[in-house]
């Protein structure tokens, strides 16, 4: 019940079952998502600074693409048309990975 409630309150935070973390590939993927999420949160704290979003996209585009084509396309559109970004809600609801 706690895990379900936690995931409902923090839907963007990466989570993984403890048993699956024994697999080195899954563990590495999970850790990478945690660090990418933290870097994304730092970008989101820099409200209305499109340069930070562009830098994030440039640094993480292959990681984003490897996890979600949909989010990669969303980020690409945001970076391509920065004048159309609605701050802050439009980006806060997007998970990077």
pLDDT in tens, 45-80: 877 677 888 888 889 889 888 888 998 888 888 788
**Alpha carbons 97 and 91: distance in angstroms, whole number:** 13
pLDDT of the residue at 94: 54
How many other CB atoms sit within 10 Å of the CB of residue 91? 19
Q: Give every CB contact of residue 53 below 8 A, 6+ residues apart in sequence.
A: 43, 75, 78, 79, 82, 85, 91
pTM: predicted TM-score of the whole model, two decimal places: 0.66
pLDDT of the residue at 24: 93
pLDDT in tens, 5-33: 888 887 878 888 888 889 999 999 889 88
């Amino acid at each position: 019940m706690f895990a379900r409630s936690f995931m409902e309150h923090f839907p963007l935070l990466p989570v993984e079952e403890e048993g699956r973390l024994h697999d080195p590939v899954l563990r590495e993927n999970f850790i990478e998502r945690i660090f990418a999420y933290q870097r994304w949160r730092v970008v989101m704290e820099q409200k209305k600074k499109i340069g930070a979003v562009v830098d994030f996209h440039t640094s993480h585009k292959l990681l984003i693409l490897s996890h979600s084509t949909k989010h990669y396309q969303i980020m690409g559109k945001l970076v391509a048309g920065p004048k159309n970004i609605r701050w802050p809600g439009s980006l806060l609801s997007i998970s990077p990975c």
